[in-house]
Amino acid sequence: MSSKEILAMNLKYYRYKLNLSQERFADAIGSNLTYVNQLENCKRKPTIEMLDKIANNLNKFDQSLNITASILLKYDKNHITKYDRIDEKK
């Protein structure tokens, strides 16, 4: 599994765990929906700075996760998701 695939898997997992839509997550990291979608579909490679920014912003939603850039690139078979769509709860 490539690092882009691992990152995509982990982003989807943490967004689901935190119940964040791609739109809300993009706003939180100061980016846009297209960029987040490209990351989650292995079409884009983030910079190290962006990985840090993503990790820091995920931690703002739940500090107990203690996510770092290196965790976002670490394979964990428990993070495999099969969700068609992750929406925020109303």
Q: Write the CB contacts of 74 (distance below 8 Å, at least 6 apart in sequence).
A: 6, 10
**Confidence class of residue 28 from pLDDT cuts 50, 70 and 90?**
confident
Per-residue tokens: 23: 């739109």
pLDDT tens sequence across 60-87: 999 899 999 999 999 999 998 876 666 6
**Confidence class of residue 45 from pLDDT cuts 50, 70 and 90?**
very high
**CA gap 17, 84 in Å, rounded:** 15
**Confidence class of residue 90 from pLDDT cuts 50, 70 and 90?**
very low
